[in-house]
Amino acid sequence: MSNDTPTLYIEGPAFWAPTLPGWDIARAAFRGEGAPVDPPARRPAPQVLAPAERRRAPDSVAIALEVSGAAVAAAGRQAADLPCIFASAHGDLAINDYMCATLASEPTLLSPTKFHNSVHNAAVGYWTIGTGCMASSNSVSAFEGTFAAGLLEAASQCACDGQAVLLTGFDVQAVGPLASAVHSEGMLAAAMVIAPERSERSVAAFDWSLAEGPAQPAAPQSPAARALAGNSLADALPLFEALARGTEAQLAMPLSAHLALRLALRPLA
C-alpha cells in the first residue's frame, strides 16, 4: 500500500474517568503503580465554561472540555490556535434519551437548550466558544472505531496542514429505553495534541498507516483500563496504556471490521 504519512508527535495526553480522574492517576494505574480513586470522582467542572454553564452543561460536554483543557495545558499551547477534532461514538446519550422521551409524550415542550445541546458537535462547539478558537473544528463518529477514526482524521489534518491539532474523544452512559439498544457504560474522555514536529513537550512519536483485513481489537491490559472497557470510547484505552508504559509499541486500532489504523509508537524522554 502506498502512502506518504509523516512521523507525528504526541503532546499532553489527558484522561478522565470517574475512577481515573486525570492523566497522572490514570498513568500510574495503567503502569500498575497506583490505584483507581475510591470513591469515584464526580463529574468535572471545566474552567473553560462560564460558571453557570459548568453546572448546566451535559456530562459529555463536561468531560470532553476537561480533557481538552488538560491536554492543551500539558502541551503548553494556546487553545485558540489549535484546530480541534472531537470524536464520540454516540454524542450525549442522556440528551438523546430526553429528546426521544419528550417527543413520545409532549413534543411541543421540547427544551430549546436541550435541542441545541443535542447536536453531535455540541462539545466542540462549547470548546471553541470557551477558548475563542476560530480554527477548524470537527465532530466525528465511527461506532466501535470512533477514537481510531478521530485519530486518523486528526493525524491527516496535522500532516496535510503542517499544524498541531487537538484530538478529544468522549462517550457517556446509555440511559433510559435507549440503553436496551445502545451499550455504553460510565463516562470516559481522553485527549492529546498531535504535532507535526518534535517539541520539548513531545511524549511520543508515531508512524502510522492503514492495514487492510480484519483487526482484533487490542484488549486493555491493566485492571484499571479493563474496568472501563464497557464505554463506547474503549478503543482509546490500549493507546493510552501504551503511552503510560512509555515503551515502544505496535498498535492496530480497528477502524471497522475490515481496516485498522496501525501505529508504531516510540516514547520520547
Partner 1 sequence: MPSPIPPLRISAYTATTAVGAGKTALADALQSARSGLRANDFGASPLPTYIGRVDGLEQLRLPDHLANWDCRNNRLAWLGLQADGFLEAAAAARERYGAGRVALILGTSTSAIGETEEAYTQVDADGRFQPAQRRPLVHTPHSLGMFVQAALGLTGPCETISTACSSSAKAFASAERLIRLGLADAAVVGGVDTLCGSVLFGFNSLELVSPAPCRPFDAQRNGISLGEAAGYALLERAGSASHDPLLLGYGEASDAHHMSTPHPQGLGAERALDDALARAGLAADAIDYINMHGTASTKNDEVEAGLVARRFPARTHASSTKGFTGHTLGAAGIVEAVISLLALETGWMPGTINSSTLDAECGPQVRLQGARGEVRRVLSNSFGFGGNNCALIFGQGAAA
* Closest CA relative to residue 110, chosen from 100, 122, 102, 119: 102
- What stretches of 36-123 adopt beta strand conformation (E)? 84-87
Residues whose CB falls within 8 Å of the CB of residue 181, separated by 6 or more in sequence, listed in order: none
Q: Dihedral, CA atoms, 54, 184, 158, 152, nearest 10 degrees?
A: -170
Site string for partner 1, 73-112 (x = CB under 8 A): -------x--x-----xxx----x--xxx-xx--xx-xxx
Q: Of the listed pieces 16-24, 44-52, 179-187, 222-230, which binds partner 1 according to CB under 8 A?
A: 179-187
* Binds partner 1 by CB under 8 A, chosen from 32, 40, 76, 143: 143
- Near partner 1 by CB under 8 A: residue from 7, 118, 199, 221: 118
Between the two ends of the chain, the Cα-to-Cα distance in Å is 32
Q: Which of 32, 76, 132, 223 binds partner 1 (CB under 8 A)?
A: 132
Cα torsion for 261, 126, 16, 185, to the nearest 10°?
A: -80
| Among positions 24, 35, 40, 115, the unique one binding partner 1 when judged by CB under 8 A | 115
Restricted to residues 207-226, the positions that interact with partner 1 (CB under 8 A) are 209-210, 212
Cell 481538552: give the residue: 68
CA distance 20 to 27: 9
| Residue of 181, 200, 216, 269 that binds partner 1 (CB under 8 A) | 181
Name the minimum Å distance from CB 245 to partner 1: 28
- 180 sits near partner 1 (criterion: CB under 8 A): yes
Figure out which of the listed residues 10, 17, 133, 188 binds partner 1, where binding follows CB under 8 A.
133
